[in-house]
Every structure is written in structure tokens, then in C-alpha cells.
Amino acid sequence: MLNIISTINQDTVNKLVDYLENNIDPVLGQDVSNYAPGRRRIWLPYEAPLSNARPFEKGLQDDKIWSYLTSVCAQFNWQPELGLISKGGLISPHRDTTFADFRSIGINLGKVTWCYSRSYPMFSWVPDEQRIDPPEVTKLEMTGGEVFEFNCKNVHWTEDVDPNRWGINLWTISKKSRLQFNQFLQSNEV
């Protein structure tokens, strides 16, 4: 499942990019993921563990951008629990780690070819015999303003990324990581 579910108008895209450039760019750090060399990023409002050996952590607390992102997702009856804002950099083929539930929403703010290899047919796990084999590969040319949903357990990557392209990915927490996330919230009185 890879669907563009909405498009943000150009005036709003310009305002978002301006806000990100002025308020988020100064706090971006280099991405530590081996599949995203050159990408700069920051998590909000919490940072997800990219391995089972790490805990959840507090991320950037920016109520203005988080309120906007949750309002975009509310249009689709979906409430994200954390997100990643990134700028530039290619992303190599990967699946999102165990913290993430199947459905993810992305917001693209710039030129990119967004690539997706669909083997899970829906937003859930299925046995091997029900997977699409060979996977269906889709490449979408995006220019900015696209709001899209995808199964983040399917392999995805980017090509032809503009160095000034902003990407926002949003997730809910998976059943596998729910207890750890709830304990993190309780211990941090969030």
C-alpha cells in the first residue's frame, strides 16, 4: 500500500519550509542510520529506538509543528505518536524497525523519487504465502506537498533527492514496542 492521500497547497508548503528552515534546521543532527548517509534529522516529540538495545528518548518538543502534523493526520482518522523530520540525503532500501506499526504517513516537501517495494499487501503482517512475490516496485516522482501513506514494513528508499528537500515521517507504536513505550511515557511523566 502506497497511496498519496492528500496534497498540501503550495502556499502552505512554502510556510512549512520557511518554518523548518528557521526553527528546525538549526537543531538537526547527522543521521546515525547506516541506510541514510548525508541525511540530517531530528525526532519529535520522542525518539524511537532503532535497535532493541536502546530505549525511547525525549525528542524535540515543538508544539507548533507537532500540532500541525497531528491535524494533518486527523483528517485520515489517524493519530501519530512520534515523527522524524529530515533534510536532504539519500535513503537506501530498508524496512522500519520494530518500534513502528505497519501504517506510516509521510509528508514530502521537495523534489524526490520515493521508491517502494510492496510485498505486504495491506497494513498488517501476513504469512509468506500471502505476500506478493515478486514484490511490486513503485517509484513516485514527488515535487512537494504530497501526504502519503505506506506500509513501513515493506522495503522503501529514495532516489534523486534535492539537498534542500524536507521529509516528515510519522508512526504509531507497534504492539511489540507498546509496553516499552508506555513505560517510557510513565517514567518521564509525559
The range of the structural domain enclosing residue 163 comes to: 2-187
Q: C-alpha grid cell for residue 96?
A: 522500519
Residue 6: partners with Cβ closer than 8 Å, 6 or more residues away: 72, 75, 76, 147
**What are the φ/ψ torsions at residue 179 (nearest 5 degrees)?**
-60, -45
The domain that contains 87 carries what CATH number?
Answer: 2.60.120.590
Residue 56: partners with Cβ closer than 8 Å, 6 or more residues away: 46, 47, 48, 49, 99, 180, 181, 184
Closest CA to 40 of 82, 88, 106: 88
Overall domain count for the chain: 1
Residue 165: partners with Cβ closer than 8 Å, 6 or more residues away: 87, 88, 108, 109, 110, 111, 112, 144
What tens-digit pLDDT sequence spans the chain (190 residues)?
Answer: 788 999 999 999 999 999 999 999 999 998 887 888 889 999 999 999 988 788 999 999 999 999 999 999 999 999 999 999 999 989 999 999 999 999 999 999 999 999 999 999 999 999 999 999 999 999 999 999 999 999 999 999 999 999 999 999 999 999 999 999 999 999 987 5
Q: What is the pLDDT of residue 167?
A: 97
